[in-house]
């Protein structure tokens, strides 16, 4: 670092500040450029590991996501990265595969690397790992899902409004038998959407017997297909389905096709998320658009506020930020056939 400072003709402290993403703003732009050029000429890479021991900061944020192959999560990750990068932080992503053991392993690996905080998309309603870490002072912002204890700042889509819009759309088309294939009830999204469905169906004057809720055990195509099979067996009279998410909806689409039923002629179908390619399905899926990129960006802003602000260890507190969602009507919904 002293050599870099010499070559750039500045004090060592200035060179150090210029090469630290979190302090480079404090250095005149032309000077910072000169320092960076000098560092490049000398092949100097700031040793962030050594620096983090001195400053107790790593300028690194751990991001836990449950399943990168569910197309809703890559845009969340991208939103997080864009905001963190702009502030000199690096996001370290880890995929938990919805597996508690993997999650614990990766969470502890990231803690061991002294990350400054976490953005967590893997919350379950009961989540001792997160509760314990919070109690120990670890800074954690939740994205999308939350825990029942609810002691974390959190960003999510407005699931309640989204499900209401879906049910009102179907009721408005004339449907009087609407089922909900609910997401896993161990996750807050599964519970919130199911509750909103129940309330919206009641508001629309649809009796409980004509608005069954079938829970699934995973947000997957396979779970959606299985629940649809059960639905067709037990409730042959329904003419529309609200799915807990788009993957469940896709499983429903497969199962309807296998049963010789046409969507939307025989059964209308609404998804949730508006994930990548939901508009390419046969038929293109009517669904609730959730702004996943914005969810990621907003959660990163909440965490930065905590890390950089003077809010103390409690930071933004357990506030919930809900971003607006909107129904996107495509070809999987139509009025029910006469009779």
Contact between residue 227 and residue 216 where contact means Cβ atoms under 8 Å apart: yes
Shortest reach from residue 99's CB to a copy of itself, in Å:
11
Shortest reach from residue 233's CB to a copy of itself, in Å:
25
Cα–Cα dist 245/193, whole Å:
10
Binding to a copy of itself by residue 222, rule CB under 8 A?
A: no
CA nearest 252: which of 276, 264, 153?
264
Contact between residue 35 and residue 10 where contact means Cβ atoms under 8 Å apart: yes
Query: Which residue number, 77 or 302, has a Cβ lying nearer to a copy of itself?
Result: 77
Binding to a copy of itself by residue 42, rule CB under 8 A?
A: no
Angle between helix 73-86 and helix 292-308 axes, rounded to 10 deg = 40
Given CA atoms 157, 158, 159, 165 in this order, what sign does their dihedral have? negative
Binding to a copy of itself by residue 47, rule CB under 8 A?
A: yes
Near a copy of itself by CB under 8 A: residue from 57, 111, 210, 235: 111
Binding to a copy of itself by residue 257, rule CB under 8 A?
A: no
Cα–Cα dist 148/135, whole Å:
15
Binding to a copy of itself by residue 81, rule CB under 8 A?
A: yes
Near a copy of itself by CB under 8 A: residue from 24, 31, 52, 151: 52
Shortest reach from residue 48's CB to a copy of itself, in Å:
4
Given CA atoms 211, 212, 215, 220 in this order, what sign does their dihedral have? negative
H helices of 9-47, in order, are 12-19, 29-41
Site residues (CB under 8 A) for a copy of itself, limited to 135-194: 136
- DSSP per residue over 237-269, as a string? T--EEEESSHHHHHHHHHHHHHTT--TTTT-EE
Near a copy of itself by CB under 8 A: residue from 28, 49, 203, 320: 49
Query: Which residue number, 203 or 282, has a Cβ lying nearer to a copy of itself?
Result: 282
CA nearest 92: which of 50, 120, 72, 67?
120
Near a copy of itself by CB under 8 A: residue from 109, 208, 258, 261: 109
Near a copy of itself by CB under 8 A: residue from 2, 13, 29, 53: 53
**In this structure, what are the phi and psi dihedrals at residue 46, rounded to the nearest 5 degrees?**
-60, 135
Site residues (CB under 8 A) for a copy of itself, limited to 263-302: 276-277, 280-282
Shortest reach from residue 332's CB to a copy of itself, in Å:
12
CA nearest 66: which of 110, 108, 103?
103
Query: Which residue number, 194 or 241, has a Cβ lying nearer to a copy of itself?
Result: 241
List interacting residues with a copy of itself (CB under 8 A).
21, 43, 45-50, 52-53, 58, 60, 68-69, 71, 74-75, 77-78, 81, 85, 90-95, 97, 102, 105-106, 108-114, 136, 250, 276-277, 280-282
């Amino acid at each position: 670092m002293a050599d870099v400072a010499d070559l750039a003709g500045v004090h060592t402290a200035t060179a150090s500040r210029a090469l630290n993403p979190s302090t480079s703003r404090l250095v005149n732009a032309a000077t910072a450029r000169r320092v960076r050029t000098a560092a490049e000429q000398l092949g100097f890479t700031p040793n962030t590991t050594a620096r983090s021991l001195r400053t107790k900061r790593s300028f690194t944020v751990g991001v836990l996501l449950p399943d990168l192959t569910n197309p809703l999560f890559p845009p969340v990750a991208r939103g997080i990265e864009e905001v963190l990068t702009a502030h000199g932080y690096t996001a370290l992503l880890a995929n938990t595969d919805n597996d508690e053991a993997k999650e614990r392993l990766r969470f502890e690996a990231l803690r061991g690397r002294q990350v400054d905080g976490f953005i967590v998309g893997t919350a379950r309603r009961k989540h001792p790992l997160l509760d314990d870490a919070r109690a120990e002072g670890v800074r954690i912002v939740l994205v999308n899902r939350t825990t029942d204890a609810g002691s974390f700042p959190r960003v999510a889509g407005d699931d309640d409004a989204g499900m209401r819009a879906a049910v009102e759309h179907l009721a408005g088309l004339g449907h009087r038998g609407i089922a909900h294939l609910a997401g896993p009830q161990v996750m807050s999204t599964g519970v919130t959407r199911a509750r909103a469905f129940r309330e919206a169906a009641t508001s629309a004057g649809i009796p409980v017997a004509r608005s069954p809720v079938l829970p699934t055990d995973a947000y997957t195509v396979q779970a959606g297909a299985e629940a649809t099979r059960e639905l067709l067996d037990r409730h042959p009279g329904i003419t529309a389905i609200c799915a807990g998410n788009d993957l469940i909806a896709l499983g429903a689409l497969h199962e309807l096709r296998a049963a010789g039923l046409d969507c939307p002629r025989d059964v209308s179908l609404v998804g949730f998320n508006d994930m990548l390619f939901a508009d390419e399905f046969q038929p293109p899926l009517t669904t609730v658009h959730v702004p996943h990129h914005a969810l990621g960006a907003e959660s990163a802003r909440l965490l930065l506020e905590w890390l950089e602000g003077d809010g103390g260890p409690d930071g933004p507190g357990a506030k919930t930020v809900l971003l607006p969602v909107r129904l996107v009507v495509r070809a999987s919904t139509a009025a029910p056939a006469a009779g």
